[in-house]
Amino acid sequence: MKGGDTLERIARLRSIAADDYRKVMFIATSVLVAAGVVYIVGFAPYPAIHDAFHDIRHGLGFPCH
């Protein structure tokens, strides 16, 4: 095995690892943003926003009481 082949394999593995890291970070960020939106809207001080979310939650079949 030549030194150039080894460097190419290492570069390829690093590229794959970077792509996987980006995917994981995208998913983690999406989950955190979604959870934040649900939390903020669920505890919104404005009754109209809270009630709308409450109705959506019941419409999707999630119990809340």
- If one compares 39 and 42, the residue with the highest pLDDT of the two is 39
Look at the pTM and tell me if it is higher than 0.95.
no
Residue 26 pLDDT: 93
For residues 12-39, average pLDDT: 86
> What is the spatial distance between Cα 63 and Cα 57, in angstroms, rounded to a whole number?
7
Least confident of 1-5, 32-36, 59-63: 1-5
Residue 61 pLDDT: 73
Per the CB < 8 A criterion, the answer to whether 28 and 35 are in contact is: no
Residue 65's identity, in one-letter code, is: H
> What is the spatial distance between Cα 40 and Cα 50, in angstroms, rounded to a whole number?
9
**pLDDT band for position 36 (cuts 50, 70, 90):** confident
Residue 2 pLDDT: 59
> What is the spatial distance between Cα 49 and Cα 32, in angstroms, rounded to a whole number?
20
